[in-house]
Amino acid sequence: MASGKEHDTSTRWWAAPFALTIALVIDLESGLISGTAFFIGGLWLSPDLDTKSIPLKRWGILQGLWWPYRKAISHRSILSHSPVIGTFLRVAYLLAITTVILLLLHSLGFTDTKQTIRWLSELIKHNPKQSLMVLVGLEASAWLHLMKDGDPLPKRWWK
């Protein structure tokens, strides 16, 4: 299992080669989007958000947003440290908690919040390729994390 600093170093090291590979295979825009998502995924949306970690600290005053996630998911479980499932749950959790906060702000009189939710869903709906590239970058950074931890499919899941 790699340390937090080793995860950070490998994320910074692999973001550009990953972006370049996607740019060469697909196109420049996809490379830039997925490379940025890879970087953000490794440093802010890491599988280690399930514990007190460097990525969690990066959220600063917002790290409390991840408290329910941390309490619900044990460290290095299949729900955080697995291909696809881990990224899906982190993105879904972030979207859900953002929606709840925006709805709470709306109920307090901030009228633009429902518009923000609508704008975000329209943005995703009208940019499917770019949205997919974001998911590809996030998932690739999770795979790097899992490989550095030495367990894309830990044996203990199968016991």
Among 117, 149, 151, 154, indicate the residue that binds Zn ion (CB under 5 A).
Answer: 149
- The interface region with Zn ion, picked from 30-38, 55-63, 82-90, 144-152 by CB under 5 A, is 144-152
- Per DSSP, 153 falls in state S
Residues 20-79 that bind Zn ion (CB under 5 A): 47-48
- The interface region with Zn ion, picked from 33-41, 91-99, 116-124, 141-149 by CB under 5 A, is 141-149
How far is Cα of residue 69 from the mean position of the Cα atoms in its chain? 13
CB of 57 to Zn ion, least distance (A): 15
| Exposure on the CB side of residue 61, measured as CA atoms within 13 A | 0
CB of 145 to Zn ion, least distance (A): 6
Tally of CB atoms within 10 A around 29: 13
Looking at the Cβ atoms of 30 and 141, the one nearer to Zn ion is: 141
Distance between CA 153 and CA 137 in Å, rounded? Answer: 20
Tally of CB atoms within 10 A around 123: 11
142 touches 41 (CB < 8 A): yes
Looking at the Cβ atoms of 91 and 120, the one nearer to Zn ion is: 91
Looking at the Cβ atoms of 53 and 113, the one nearer to Zn ion is: 53
**Which residue ranges make up the site for Zn ion (CB under 5 A)?**
47-48, 149
